[in-house]
Amino acid sequence: MLQVNRLEKNSRRSRAVMHGNTVYLGGQVGTDLDGDIKTQTRQALEQVDRLLTAAGSERKKVLSVTIWLKTMDDYEDMNAVWDEWIDGDEPPARCCGKVDMTDPRIRFEITVVAAI
């Protein structure tokens, strides 16, 4: 039976869950909720990097991402940061949509599934 490991958990959520050779990251947002879309995107991706490293993975092993934006007006600026961050030779499956965020200051949220 495969073991399940959880990182940075509390009674409501885990920041990451590892099962077999896969890691599932919960939604990551920027820490500067007053920051613009580029700042929030960079900060959230830094969180992704940190969690991937803690799980024994890395960017080029990202399999799938879901990106949520507060407004599609941020799409191009978010993609400018995304394109610098992602491994263009090994891009993941990706979707992006607009949602109401739990905090109206949040402009960007990302979930990630990656191989370990």
* 80 neighbors 38 (Cβ within 8 angstroms): yes
CATH assignment at residue 78: 3.30.1330.40
67 is in which domain, residue-wise? Answer: 4-115
Quote the pTM value. 0.94
- pLDDT for 54-66, tens place per residue? 999 999 999 999 9
- pLDDT for 7-45, tens place per residue? 999 999 999 999 999 999 999 999 999 999 999 999 999
* 31 neighbors 75 (Cβ within 8 angstroms): no
**Which parts of 1-116 fold into alpha helices (H)?**
37-55, 75-85
> Domains in the chain: how many in total?
1
pLDDT of residue 2: 80
pLDDT of residue 59: 94
Enumerate residues 6+ apart whose C-beta is below 8 A from 4.
17, 18, 19
Q: What is the C-alpha to C-alpha distance for residues 39 and 19, in angstroms, rounded to an integer?
A: 31
